[in-house]
Chains A and B, each alone.
Chain A
Amino acid sequence: MQIARINRLTPYFFLAPAIIVMAVALLYPIGYMVWASFLDWNPSQRIGEADFVGLRNYAKLLNDAAFLESFWVTVKFAAVVVVLEMILGVGLAMLLDRQLRGMTLLRTIFILPMMIAPIVVGLMWRYMYHPSVGLFNRTLKSFGLEPVPWLSDGTWAFASIVIADIWQWTPFIFILSLAALQSLPRSAMEAARIDGASGWQLIWFIKLPLMLPVLIVTALLRLIDAFKVLEVILVMTNGGPGLSTEILALRISRTASEFRELGTAAAMSNLLLILLMALTLAMFTYTKISEARAARLRAAASKDH
């Protein structure tokens, strides 16, 4: 039947505009990037004029010490900030999950850092880390302590960007953890108190296990974000000193603009994209598995009384 077929197709007509926008805005650039990664392409050339070099860009990257260093810095950065932010964010949520006067205001203040534009965050921290007029060194000096080379020493610079990132993104974990905490079943918590659980045991045996699904997704979201971080570090250290804080995104932008190797930059972007896709897939798989498990449990419960 003609009409039935049109009816069946209706949803796709409605979806079409979104698909077209997606294709133009997302798939086209990605395709362009993938294609570019196979080219030896200089910004002064048009893409058609560049030489096709196959997988040579990728092969070069795997032997490029600077790239590997960058990759390592990124992984280290992501791992360190996510672990620390999870501990701090969940800890704060546990502390602030109570009815106190002014708690709403306090919570709002806690999530402010997240709302500030990254460039501004970078500038702010750069001023605070300034070797002579920065807040930190002036404070140290007023206590008669030696100034710290916040951004001029490799190890300190890495620590400095970690601190800035923790300052900005702990609130994200905090609000998600708090929401998870507040949606936990009250009565299970009360039952545990009657069963004799102390505050720590309550957290360890009841709250954390019940929050775990949310925490896993939160950690993965943060990890994905941490791999893409750019602006704050760009403003604070621009990757220096040396390569100590040169995360991948920065390396990519420098490869493209300073070294003028668009093909190599595209290849790096692809590697990063693959990594992020793997993380995203891990997250989707996790939610799918937990949904399937919940469905199975429900089915088992309704089957037998």
Chain B
Amino acid sequence: MPRIVLEQVRKSYGAVEVLHPIDLKLNDGEFTVLVGPSGCGKSTTLRILAGLETLSGGEIYFDDKPISALDPKERDIAMVFQDYALYPHMNIAKNMSFALRLAKVPKAEITEKVQRVSKLLNINHLLDRKPAELSGGQRQRVAMGRAMVRDASTFLFDEPLSNLDAKLRAKLRTELAEMRDTIDKNMIYVTHDQVEAMTLGDRIVVMSDGRIQQQGTPEELFKSPINRFVAGFIGSPTMNFMAGTLTEANGQLWVQGDGCRLPLSAEQASRLKTFKGADVDIGLRPSSITDDVSRGAPIELRVVVSEYLGAQTVLVTRCGGTELQVEMSSAGRFAAGQTRTFGVVTDELMIFDRDSGLRL
């Protein structure tokens, strides 16, 4: 499998630059997820990789070989599309074998491959049907099967699950995760759903506004986001942000927010000393606030709504004028309108520069 390198890849339509020069290295055999809100350039990046869009500048290398001038068919890639992109006039077997038939692979070999892959994906009873006769989930499986039959070295997925209902999406996500472990290929997966990104990706590339914000393992992105955007994008429920300032009192560094004051840990304090007096945004994960006051710095919150989700409860609370979400494991003890003290695990606090959004 080739190691894929994007070097200063740029894309513009007329005067509009949709992809600012991006650099990206994808390691051999890795499952990479490009994630970001719509319009962030992730799909464009994937389509440029596939050769469906030309790049406006820069170069892509597969194993040090520049490929931007090559046709899609010369790139040894297979792609799964959001709307499945099956050929409506061919039955499933023909859909899956189209590439092989074009490549003049012997008939017996085609039949064998289609059989094997369709069994693997549990679609072997559908081979004689037309795509219109299948449900969304089945079509998506066929689209994956069509890519797998190809034996290409690199698989591209363009939001393959986003047209499915929630239950089916979760099921296919699990199947994809299994597939990831059994198939040793480069896989590049585009999604706007951070849950998909977190569960599937060996490595996640977070994009926004045509730029790569950060890349790393799911854990790296969750635990040490480099800026406010990544922090807010990764994690569910999303991180709470509160405007504040860094102050010093009693030989201790604090963040003063609207209606609360939280002490910083010694480790954070040594890092943030130089920013004393700066305007910052305080980032607080909903899971970093607990009802166990002994576990953290006290904070007074007024419960606005209590959303019972079964195993967990999400409380929507107010601290001064700021809305904060709190994730609780237990349910039912927090009536709306009640004000009470929670504990903030200050080690997990994140401080961002107000203007640049960078994590301090």
State the A residues within 8 Å of B (CB). 185, 187-188, 190-198, 201, 205-206, 209-210, 212, 294, 297-298, 300-302, 304-305
Contacts and interface: CB of A to CB of B under 8 A. Distances in A.
Q: Which 6 A/B pairs are nearest by Cβ-Cβ distance?
A: A187-B85, A195-B99, A297-B132, A196-B73, A191-B85, A300-B133
A195 B137 CA distance: 22
Interface of B: 50-52, 71-73, 77-79, 81-89, 98-99, 102-103, 129-130, 132-135, 137-138, 146, 150
A294 B85 CA distance: 18
Contacts of B146: 191, 195
15 contacts: A187-B81, A187-B84, A187-B85, A188-B85, A191-B81, A194-B73, A195-B98, A196-B102, A197-B98, A205-B102, A294-B132, A297-B130, A297-B132, A300-B129, A301-B134
Contacts of A198: 73
A210 B81 contact: no
A195 B150 contact: yes
A201 to B, nearest CB: 6
B133 A190 contact: no
A195 B102 contact: yes
Contacts of B85: 185, 187-188, 190-191
Nearest to A201: B102
Count chain B CB atoms within 10 A of each CB in A196, A206, A298 and give the residue with the most: A196
B135 A194 contact: no
A194 B83 contact: no
Contacts of A185: 83, 85, 88
Contacts of A297: 130, 132-133
Nearest to B50: A194
Nearest to A187: B85
B226 to A, nearest CB: 34
Contacts of B102: 195-197, 201, 205
Given A210-B89, A297-B130, A298-B132, A194 B98 contact: no
A114 to B, nearest CB: 30
Contacts of B87: 188, 191-192, 206
B229 to A, nearest CB: 30
A196 B71 CA distance: 9
A149 to B, nearest CB: 47
B83 A187 contact: yes
A300 B91 CA distance: 14
A210 B77 contact: no
A194 B72 contact: yes
Given A294-B132, A297-B133, A190 B52 contact: yes
Contacts of B135: 301-302, 304-305
B73 A197 contact: yes
A118 to B, nearest CB: 37
B81 A209 contact: no
B140 to A, nearest CB: 12
A301 B83 contact: no
Contacts of B98: 192, 195, 197, 205
Contacts of A187: 81-85
A196 B75 CA distance: 10
A245 B174 CA distance: 71
B88 A195 contact: no
A172 B141 CA distance: 41
B73 A195 contact: yes
Given A194-B52, A210-B88, 6 more contacts: A187-B82, A187-B83, A194-B77, A195-B99, A297-B130, A304-B135
A304 B125 CA distance: 12
Nearest to B77: A194
B132 A191 contact: no
A188 B82 CA distance: 11
Contacts of A197: 73, 98, 102
A300 B87 CA distance: 18
Given A193-B73, A194-B50, A196-B103, A188 B133 contact: no
Nearest to A294: B132
A206 B89 CA distance: 8
Contacts of B84: 187
A194 B132 contact: no
B78 A194 contact: yes
A277 B98 CA distance: 41
Contacts of A210: 88-89
Contacts of B99: 195-196
A194 B130 contact: no
A51 B111 CA distance: 73
B88 A194 contact: no
Contact of B132 (A195, A301, A305): A301
Contacts of B88: 185, 188, 210
A87 B83 CA distance: 32
B81 A190 contact: yes
Contacts of A188: 85-88
Given A201-B102, A210-B88, A210-B89, A194 B133 contact: no
Contacts of A196: 73, 99, 102-103
A209 B132 contact: no
B72 A301 contact: no
Nearest to B103: A196
Contacts of A304: 135
A193 B79 CA distance: 10
A205 B98 CA distance: 9
Contact of B89 (A190, A195, A209, A302): A209
